[in-house]
Structure 1
Amino acid sequence: MRFLLAPDSFKGSMTSAEACAALREGIHAFDASSEVQAVPIADGGEGTVDALGEILDGEKITERVRDPLGREVNASYGWIESDKLAVIEVAAASGLPLLHETELDPHQASTFGTGQLIKSALDKGAREIILGLGGSATVDAGTGCFQALGVHFFNEKKQELTMNGGALRHVDAINLADMDSRVQEVKWTIASDVTNPLLGVSGAVHVFGPQKGVQPDQLEAFERGMSRYAGALQKASGVDRREAEGSGAAGGIGFTLSSLLADASVKSGFDLIAELGKLEEVVASSDFVLTGEGKFDRQTLYGKGPSGVATLAKRYDVPCIAFAGKIDDEADIRTQSDVTAVLPIVDEPMTLEDAMRNGPRLLQKAVQRFLDVYIAGQYHKEVQR
């Protein structure tokens, strides 16, 4: 049998690449002769480096950089030497996973560490950079990132600012003259599924600010700061990208990227990985497609991960089996999505913590149970004949 493994991450338990490894082990424990090909799925957030690293056979480069609160941490990005391609996640240096819930501080949080990773990639001779925007802990509009790359931000008194979310309201002028010139020389691809504009009730602050620690009574102050910064960047860059799709991504990083990198292309994480992993071609030659994620619910139907995989599988009449740590509204999912079946990986009563800690083992056992049932069904068909 020929299997395509295309799971999303199981948040907090497994990256998509780790889920592929667990599925592969389960299949080969059942039948070592099965052909298995993996195309891990990610949306531009945590797991994107691992997913593209497996697809493109890359390595990881680890650097000491600043986390969102300025502390030194190790952060990695993907590197494909043959193409001089760097794959960088904002989440690696500036992401929510780096902070405890009690540490969320949108006033102080900065993307400076992401800029340090970009500089490292440029120093290695990067000709192309894929930047995944998901999972940031910041609302600094990427100003910290670009400060690390040489951009200067000043207040009304001509004093240079140290950029973070709280400093946006003080930005009066921006000097781009010292920005690392190599930033404009590489090919940029921005991986993001977010289409929100920068400002307004659908913008970076109101929609994504609360998950980064912005309190309800702080929303308007942060919105004013973001608007003031937007005006300053418009003056410095000569373009207005406030209403552009995706400007609100990652706490406003999308706005700064689109303002300063005119030739950057934006792709959804799923579409990018589907293209680089030749997903449609692999689906068409498979007997089964296995996908999954931590929680399978109605939101899955509107995503680009397991839902997109299932749609491709249906196009080629290939059964698509989805595995999940938790399944909500199972009946609706079966009738409204293109998956053939949605199967839980938890096999006995356990706490959420235990389930997440043992995710790979549970997934491995779940695929073996599925294959047991499938083979039993095939045997029954033969008997009926």
Structure 2
Amino acid sequence: MRVVVAPDSYKESLCAADVAAAIAEGVRQAAPEAEILSVPMADGGEGSLDAVLAATKGERRRAVVLDANGQPCEAAWGWLGNGTAFIEMAEAAGLERIPPAQRRPLRASTYGVGQLVLQALDAGARRIVLGLGGSATTDGGAGLFQALGGHLFDAEGGELPPGGGALHRLSKVDTNKLDGRLASVQFEIAVDVDNPLCGERGAAAIFGPQKGATPDDVAFLDKALAHFAAVCREASGRDEAGTPGTGAAGGLGFVIKSFFQAEFRPGVELIADLAELDQALRGARLVFTGEGRMDRQTLLGKTPAGVARHGRRQGATVIALAGSLGEGYEALYEVGVTAAFSVVPGPMELSQACHDAAALLRERARDCMLLWLAGQTGH
């Protein structure tokens, strides 16, 4: 009997691989003879690098790059072999790297993400999978473009400084010195939102406030991004500002889509392909998935919904385990979840639940497995 364990992380508690290990242990307690396949998952945002490396047995590599504020930091990226690299943009330009008092929404840059791309190119990458999410930036990918050899000039011929706040001064985009290796690289961009670059649903309006942007900052950044998009359109011949997903991660995907070979894909689907989820699911009778909190929003590109869809196509029973179940979680039943449970047995402080998460997952997985087995045998 094959059981597939394919959860996301429990944020601020356990990474996806540790969640999978805890669930697998609980399943094994109830069914020692079961064939258990662990496939740590993610949706392309924070934690995706850990999940991909755990699922693919890829190699974690490290480099010193610039963070969103231009300070040196150590960032990890993944080499998956066969010319494929995985980069989680938050490793270099993540919001969690910057203390709240030091966040600079007008000056935050994706330059360090471009430096990670250069590391991948040096390793021989021909395919670069880029996970968006958790960014501190709203620069439309301008910093990445500059790190890769592109130039952004103002009217006096000077190079623009870092950050989305400078983009309103952009006069010319120069692609002549972009790294030549980029011409033979395919980018696959993992996104879990469909926001465009600009406007009321754009990068600045929707995501700027959580990065420290004031209402005035949001309006200024939105106009700057619109101007950036117009100048880029003249340089590239592509009009990507309205493309769904270009507003993710402060617009990082916009510049990649405008100047390079790139495809946007739902993050959970891209990670599922890298982790070979469908291969693991073949012949599986039971699937466990989950994440720290599940509610109606989980339907919008999150891991449990994606895994459930894959499991349903294989005819498997899908059990979703969450730290907490919020309003509307029942909507998951429409996409393939058979039953959803909270792992918390009763009132508990959040700090205690996070501390005990592995034990709670083991116990709930064991109980679910015992119940499922009883249903199969009729006892």
Does residue 126 (structure 1) correspond to residue 125 (structure 2)? The answer is yes
Amino acid at match of 2:188: T
Amino acid at match of 1:4: V
Amino acid at match of 1:323: L
Distance 1:67 1:273, change over 3 A: same
Conservation of the 8 A alpha-carbon contact between 1:132 and 1:192: yes
Q: Structure 1 residue 128: deviation in Å?
A: 1.4
In structure 2, what is the Cα distance between the partners aligned to 1:175 and 1:54? 39
In structure 2, what is the Cα distance between the partners aligned to 1:355 and 1:363? 10
The CA deviation string for residues 26-76 of structure 1, in whole angstroms up to 9 with x for no partner, is 223444432111222212111222222233221100111111112222110
Q: Secondary structure at the match of 2:73?
A: strand
Distance 1:124 1:331, change over 3 A: closer
Q: What's the counterpart of residue 194 of structure 2?
A: 195
Number of corresponding residues: 379
In structure 2, what is the Cα distance between the partners aligned to 1:339 and 1:30? 21
In structure 1, what is the Cα distance between the partners aligned to 2:75 and 2:61? 8
CA RMSD of aligned residues (A): 2.1
The equivalent position to 2:360 in structure 1, one of 359, 362, 384, is 362
Conservation of the 8 A alpha-carbon contact between 1:284 and 1:313: no
Q: What's the counterpart of residue 299 of structure 1?
A: 297
Distance 1:358 1:173, change over 3 A: farther
More deviation, 45-54/324-333 = 324-333
Conservation of the 8 A alpha-carbon contact between 1:30 and 1:368: yes
Distance 1:317 1:66, change over 3 A: same
In structure 1, what is the Cα distance between the partners aligned to 2:96 and 2:363? 28
Q: Secondary structure at the match of 1:36?
A: strand
In structure 2, what is the Cα distance between the partners aligned to 1:165 and 1:314? 43
Q: Structure 1 residue 138: deviation in Å?
A: 0.5
Distance 1:226 1:329, change over 3 A: closer
Conservation of the 8 A alpha-carbon contact between 1:313 and 1:319: yes
The CA deviation string for residues 208-238 of structure 1, in whole angstroms up to 9 with x for no partner, is 2122221123221111111121122222223
Amino acid at match of 1:193: D
Q: What's the counterpart of residue 8 of structure 2?
A: 8
Distance 1:71 1:361, change over 3 A: farther
Q: What's the counterpart of residue 206 of structure 1?
A: 205
In structure 2, what is the Cα distance between the partners aligned to 1:184 and 1:348? 56
Distance 1:205 1:291, change over 3 A: same
* Structure 2: unaligned runs, 5 residues or longer: none
In structure 2, what is the Cα distance between the partners aligned to 1:103 and 1:361? 37
In structure 1, what is the Cα distance between the partners aligned to 2:30 and 2:173? 61
Amino acid at match of 2:75: A
Q: Secondary structure at the match of 1:324?
A: strand
Conservation of the 8 A alpha-carbon contact between 1:39 and 1:55: yes
Amino acid at match of 1:187: Q
In structure 2, what is the Cα distance between the partners aligned to 1:210 and 1:306? 27
Distance 1:86 1:15, change over 3 A: same
In structure 2, what is the Cα distance between the partners aligned to 1:43 and 1:92? 15
Conservation of the 8 A alpha-carbon contact between 2:9 and 2:47: yes
Q: What's the counterpart of residue 182 of structure 2?
A: 183
More deviation, 357-366/196-205 = 357-366
Q: Structure 1 residue 97: deviation in Å?
A: 2.1
Distance 1:152 1:315, change over 3 A: closer
Same amino acid, percent of matched pairs: 41
Q: Secondary structure at the match of 2:284?
A: coil
Amino acid at match of 1:280: D
* Structure 1: unaligned runs, 5 residues or longer: none
Does residue 256 (structure 1) correspond to residue 255 (structure 2)? The answer is yes
In structure 1, what is the Cα distance between the partners aligned to 2:193 and 2:171? 28
In structure 2, what is the Cα distance between the partners aligned to 1:364 and 1:266? 36
Q: TM-score normalized by structure 1?
A: 0.91
Q: TM-score normalized by structure 2?
A: 0.93
Q: Structure 1 residue 372: deviation in Å?
A: 3.9
Q: Structure 1 residue 289: deviation in Å?
A: 0.4
The CA deviation string for residues 120-141 of structure 1, in whole angstroms up to 9 with x for no partner, is 1111111211111122110011
More deviation, 293-302/303-312 = 303-312
Conservation of the 8 A alpha-carbon contact between 1:86 and 1:126: yes
Conservation of the 8 A alpha-carbon contact between 2:268 and 2:301: no
